[in-house]
Amino acid sequence: MKIVLAPDSFKGSASAVRLCEAFEAGIRSVLPDAEIVRVPLADGGEGTMENLVAATGGEFRTVPTVDPLGRPIEGRYGVLGDGKTAVIELAEASGLTRLKAGERDPRRTTTYGTGLLIKAALDAGFRSFLIGLGGSATNDGGAGLLQALGLRLLDEEGRELERGGAALARLAAIVDTSFDPRIRESRFVAAVDIENPLTGPSGASAVFGPQKGADAAAIRELDAALDRYAAVVERHTGVHVRTMPGTGAAGGTGAALAAFLNARMRPGAEIVMRAAGFARKIRGASWIVTGEGRLDSQTASGKLISRVCAAARKAGVPVIALCGSVEPDPDLSARLGLTAAFPLAPGPCALEEAMESAERWAKERAAVVFRLVAAASARR
């Protein structure tokens, strides 16, 4: 029996590589002779850079940058095996994993550190970029990234805005005379994991703000700030970012990339799956095991599991999803094309316990599921 393991990371909890290890350990406790193929994946968020560098035989470079609250850190960018393309993962400098739970505040957090990573790669001579959008701690519309590259954001009095999502409510003008001229010489591809627009009920603030620490009042404040930002950006560039699919990615950073870096939006999962040779590796498989932190209605909006299921349908391979949590929607698995979906947790638990126990529970749940698979196979 050939089993392909193809999970995404569980944000802030377990990497895709570690989940593959846990799934394999659980399966081998039941099926010790199974042929198991590990294909750790990502959809633009955490793990995108590592998976692409590994798949292409590339390398990492470490440079100074700042975290979402502006504190100095060391960050990495990747170089693909072609030696010509730099991979910047937004989560590397501006991700949730850089903050403690009590530090999450998307009114204050900034993508400035990601802009510094782009600047470092420009300094090193790179002009081809793949930017992974996902796993962010921010809701600043990518404004911090643009500020790091020299764009000036001014209020009504002509003063520079401070960094963070809330400050965008006072944006009045954009000055690009100091914007890095090397941007015009460069090509950018944005690897996005969602299709949400910048603002509104399905926008960056409303949908993703809560996981970044925003309460109902903060969500309203941030959405209004991004609406003001969109108006000024549209007036300055002519690019209508409010409703463009994908501009809500990474707290609105998709909007900044589309408007100022002329980035082409592509599904992050497809980029990683192609680099990993996913279609070739699932040929002849009996099962695919995938997973992500939460299986819910957002999964169908370009998330990794939906892409895995699409590839599996073409190859005629059934898919099982093992996820941190599963939305209680009886039709969700059928809509996605999953054979079955299971939560890892054995019962109700606190979020902290779930995050700490993810790898152990992944092993245990994989063993339980494939004990059923083995029993069903034996009866045929």
For residue 27, which of 377, 363, 378, 323 has the smallest C-alpha distance?
363
pLDDT attached to residue 204: 96
The residue that leads in pLDDT, 154 or 51, is 154
Give the least confident one: 67-81, 108-122, 255-269, 334-348. 334-348
- Residue 62's pLDDT band, with cuts at 50, 70 and 90, is very high
What mean pLDDT is predicted for residues 38-51? 88
What mean pLDDT is predicted for residues 352-368? 90
Find all residues with CB under 8 Å of 218, minimum gap 6, and list them: 105, 106, 107, 209
| Homologous superfamily in CATH for domain 2-39+277-378 | Glycerate kinase; domain 1 (3.40.50.10350)
- Residue 351's pLDDT band, with cuts at 50, 70 and 90, is confident
**Above 80 in pLDDT, residue 321?**
yes
Specify whether the backbone of 277 is left (phi greater than 0), alpha (psi in -120 to 50) or beta.
Answer: left
Find all residues with CB under 8 Å of 291, minimum gap 6, and list them: 7, 8, 10, 19, 23, 305, 321, 322, 323, 324, 362
User: For the chain, what is the mean pLDDT?
Assistant: 94
What mean pLDDT is predicted for residues 112-117? 98
What mean pLDDT is predicted for residues 17-45? 94
pLDDT attached to residue 166: 98
pLDDT attached to residue 118: 98
Share of the chain above pLDDT 90, in %: 79
**Residues β-bridged to residue 86:** 79, 129
What's the pTM value of the predicted model, to 2 decimals? 0.83
- Residue 380's pLDDT band, with cuts at 50, 70 and 90, is low
Q: 224 is written with which tokens?
A: 């209004």
User: Could you give the 3-state DSSP secondary structure of residue 168?
Assistant: helix
d(CA 199, CA 90): 20
**Above 70 in pLDDT, residue 35?**
yes
- Say yes or no: do domains 2-39+277-378 and 48-268 share a fold: no
- The CB density around residue 163, as the number of other CB atoms within 10 Å, is 23
- The CB density around residue 89, as the number of other CB atoms within 10 Å, is 30
Domain ranges of the chain: 2-39+277-378, 48-268
Fold of 48-268: Glycerate kinase, domain 2 (3.90.1510)
Give the least confident one: 71-80, 91-100, 325-334, 360-369. 325-334
* Element spanning 38, H or E: strand 35-38
